[in-house]
Amino acid sequence: MKTNLFRLLILFSALLASCSKEAQDTPAPTAVAHSEAATIQSSDDMMTLGRQLENPYTVSTMLKASNNLAARGYSTNVNIRTTHLYVRFLPKSTQEYYLMAKDDALDIYDHPLDYEIAQSGGTYHDPSIPSDQYSWQYCAVKAGYKFPAIQYEVLAELYLPETDKAVADASSLDLLENEAMVITGNSEPNTELRVASFTPGGRIQVRNVFQYRDFRDNQTKTVDQMIGLEGAQVRANRWFTTHRAITDENGYYRMNDSFKNPCNYSIKWERPDFDILDRAIFGQATLDGPKKSGDWNTDITGGNQLFYATIHRGAWDYYYNDQLRNSFGLKKPPTRDNIFQQRVSLLAKDESATVNGDYSGWRAAFGFPHIRIFRSNRNSDEIYSTTVHELAHASHQENRGWSSFNNVDDVITESWARCVQYYFTLYRFIRYAGGYEWADRYQNTPIVRTPQLHAYTPMFLDMCDDFDQSYKYGPTRFIDQWDGNYYMLRPIEQALSTASTFQDLERLLNSTGTDQSATDYYNQYK
């Protein structure tokens, strides 16, 4: 037993040591002053529950409501039956969690749905369960649902009137639901008034702040603005019913269904292929919004929520901004159908570190996140760029082969990730500042590097541009005589599917298009 544990610890240590990192080579910028009035404050804290509410949607309560209405002369003609089950799951591992979470038909919450929320927060963890284990996960499933091999408990049999398509008279369902609310103390007695419905929607904006050197006048400038947040999953739920919508490029969203009473708004920081975490293993990052009727418009201006939102921006562009990614000819990072059968997880780890982030594909096998992003005090372009950098490692590993990736020269892996992050960041942020300059941060790299920065070179950038940094910055910089029209990102990424060494690159990408030989070109980066 001790021998097996010892071997496991050695293996785990080796896997962590093999992770790819983005070194911190730029100082943290000075934060720009902003109004705290619109800052999402409470969502950085843990959610606190209030009292448990009596459930109005149980089959027994609905039958009682129907009988009450009949006694007063109302005939609903509704076949009350079990349409849904209110359940909770208790996953024992990351694999079990993602087995449950990959079912797109389920709207999963980390808190019970029949409790008041005393204090809004980012996440909730059942206090009876150790913090280093998964907490109960709650949802409503349709009757007849085939449960996965995960521990679960049925909490109640439900009749959800709004899902009963067999009833043509919507007013009958309204009367039934209102009476059930009265019986359970969740509504004022008013069974004859039909409440006007509303379709949840609104706009989500995020603070976009960064400093840059304007190449047009060589001046340092600052951008601090609110922009629409694209691709965020906004949820509106009331009791056991959830409607969802995805924000458009300007941050607007609108559900396809409606409610007649106030609903709870929230943002769950996940998409089909990636997941943002707020703790090392067991914390799904969420933004718990208000309970209200009508639209929910909010500005995310600070705190951990801004950190999550900015990571989301980078991951969204790499995965789902097909126009941007395809313009570079790049493949998607690993989808949830990868070798581990789970989303790529990104941990937003708000702490000081000597690196901006790191990646280890094998870390997920032990229930840990693939990617960690550090230093939330950085500006938007830096956090965005780090997110893309680490996802480029994930894509490279899948492209090269999960086992073979660890044999690739570090200069190749880090220089490629740096190249990818350069293009994404430049093309994303130049739309906010016409003179946005990003090349100086990576092109002005000395040939003699510190051990920490040795692997980070402009090697692949130099293959794609027509900028010779040695001409601008002097002979201590790399000599780039590569023909900028010769290689684009797609053929380089294709070559990296088999390349592990500089010799491989010389064989696969063997012409600089100039009088500088491939051997001389690669030698300076080693």
Give Cα 70 distance to the centre of its chain. Answer: 50
Dist CA 345 CA 284 (whole Å): 10
Closest CA to 282 of 150, 139, 133: 133
Cα angle, residue 468 at apex, residues 467 and 471 outer, rounded to 5°: 130
Residues 422-443: tens digit of each pLDDT: 999 999 999 898 888 776 777 7
Dist CA 73 CA 67 (whole Å): 10
Q: Which residues are registered as beta bridge partners of 115?
A: 52
Which string of DSSP letters, residue by residue, matches 290-354?
A: EEESS-EEEEE-SHHHHHHHHHHHHHHHHHH-HHHHHHHTPPP---TTSTTSSPEEEEEE-S--S
Give Cα 328 distance to the centre of its chain. Answer: 22
Going residue by residue through the chain, which has 526 residues, state the pLDDT in tens, using 9 for 90 and above. Answer: 323 333 333 333 333 334 576 766 543 333 333 322 334 443 456 788 999 999 999 999 999 999 999 999 887 788 999 999 999 999 988 788 888 877 878 899 999 999 998 887 677 888 898 888 889 999 999 999 999 999 999 999 999 998 888 887 788 898 999 999 999 999 854 444 445 789 999 999 999 999 988 888 888 899 999 999 999 999 999 999 999 999 999 999 999 999 988 999 999 999 999 999 986 556 789 998 999 999 999 999 999 999 999 999 999 999 999 999 999 999 999 988 765 667 899 999 877 778 899 998 888 777 788 999 998 999 999 999 999 999 999 999 999 988 899 899 999 999 999 999 999 999 999 989 888 877 677 777 777 777 777 888 888 888 887 777 777 777 777 777 665 445 688 989 999 999 998 888 888 876 655 555 667 777 777 7
Report which residue type is found at 348: A
Strand pairing class (344-349; 274-277): parallel
Cα angle, residue 280 at apex, residues 277 and 286 outer, rounded to 5°: 25
Burial class (CB in 10 A: 0-12, 13-18, 19+), 336: middle
Run of H or E including 495: helix 489-495
- Cβ-proximal residues to 77 (8 Å cutoff; 6+ apart), any chain: 167, 169, 172
Give percent helix, percent strand, percent coil of the chain, each to the nearest 5: 35, 25, 45
User: Is the four-CA dihedral 58, 59, 60, 66 of positive or negative sign?
Assistant: positive
CB neighbours of residue 324 within 10 Å? 15
Closest CA to 345 of 314, 371, 315, 318: 371
**Please, what's the largest Cα pairwise distance for the chain?**
96
- Cβ-proximal residues to 234 (8 Å cutoff; 6+ apart), any chain: 202, 204, 244, 245, 246, 247, 253, 265, 266, 267, 296
- Cβ-proximal residues to 517 (8 Å cutoff; 6+ apart), any chain: none
Dist CA 243 CA 446 (whole Å): 53
Residues 355-404: tens digit of each pLDDT: 899 998 888 777 788 999 998 999 999 999 999 999 999 999 999 988 89
Which string of DSSP letters, residue by residue, matches 356-414?
A: EEEE-GGGGGGT--SEEEE-TTS-HHHHHHHHHHHHHHHHHHHHH-TTGGGGS-HHHHH
Dist CA 78 CA 62 (whole Å): 10
Joined together, the tokens standing for residue 215 give 């190449």
Dist CA 187 CA 395 (whole Å): 52
- Cβ-proximal residues to 474 (8 Å cutoff; 6+ apart), any chain: none
